[in-house]
């Protein structure tokens, strides 16, 4: 009779082991999906920074009276670049993503301010180089919005998996924690 109980305990142990391995692999897969989604978002953010730098180069000589706004854009770009580098290491970590959300918003506001300044100067609006950079920035912003949506969906799927019981017990044991959306 005790041999029957031992068999059931072995079966139960094996089932728990296989469930644990499956749950761990599922959470790792979802966390890796956050990394893939961030890579797309990072590409858009990098291109936005590059176009912002091109706009800065064009406007520094054409708008000498707006040096404060241009300096603000340069500072916002440097912060956005630094923050994005920190997120690349662990795109699923909540704190760097929160920091990226802030710096990205500041960078976006500085770029919007620059585009607004350009639109108020007719000689800049007719400049082919400036209008090309601004058109590219607008295209990148649309692409960034889609990449951000994709990233947020990956974060949502991961967080749902991390919150589910009994997986929640397992993930806390392995040090997984919830991620953050942008």
Tell whether 140 is covered by a domain: yes
Mean of the per-residue pLDDT values of the chain: 92
d(CA 6, CA 10): 6
Say if residues 73 and 56 touch (Cβ distance below 8 Å). Answer: yes
Tell whether 138 is covered by a domain: yes
Tell whether 181 is covered by a domain: no
pTM attached to this predicted model: 0.88
Cα 12 off chain centre by: 41
Instruction: Check which CATH number belongs to the domain holding 59 and give it.
Output: 1.20.1440.20
The average pLDDT across 120-127 equals: 86
Q: Which domain holds residue 21?
A: 2-174
Q: Is the pLDDT of residue 7 over 80?
A: yes
Tell whether 57 is covered by a domain: yes
Tell whether 180 is covered by a domain: no
| Least confident range of 74-78, 134-138, 167-171 | 167-171
Taking residue 76's Cβ as centre, other Cβ atoms within 10 Å add up to: 22
Tell whether 96 is covered by a domain: yes
Structural domains in the chain (count): 1
pLDDT range class, residue 169, cuts 50, 70, 90: confident
Tell whether 179 is covered by a domain: no
- H/E element, 86: helix 67-89
Tell whether 136 is covered by a domain: yes
d(CA 179, CA 96): 10
């Amino acid at each position: 009779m005790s041999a029957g109980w031992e068999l059931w305990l072995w079966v139960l142990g094996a089932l728990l082991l296989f469930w644990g391995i499956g749950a761990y692999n599922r959470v790792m897969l979802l966390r890796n999906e956050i990394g893939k989604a961030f890579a797309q978002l990072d590409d858009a953010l990098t291109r936005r920074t590059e176009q912002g730098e091109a706009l800065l180069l064009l406007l520094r000589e054409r708008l000498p009276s707006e040096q404060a706004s241009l300096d603000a854009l340069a500072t916002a770009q440097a912060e956005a670049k630094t923050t994005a580098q920190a997120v690349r290491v662990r795109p699923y970590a909540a704190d760097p993503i929160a920091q990226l959300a802030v710096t990205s918003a500041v960078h976006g506001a500085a770029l919007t301010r620059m585009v607004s300044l350009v639109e108020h100067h007719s000689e800049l609006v007719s400049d082919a180089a400036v209008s090309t950079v601004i058109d590219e920035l607008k295209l990148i912003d649309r692409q960034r919005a889609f990449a951000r949506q994709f990233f947020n969906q990956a974060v949502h799927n991961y967080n749902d998996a991390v919150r589910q019981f009994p997986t929640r017990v397992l993930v806390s044991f392995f040090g997984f924690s919830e991620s953050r959306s942008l």
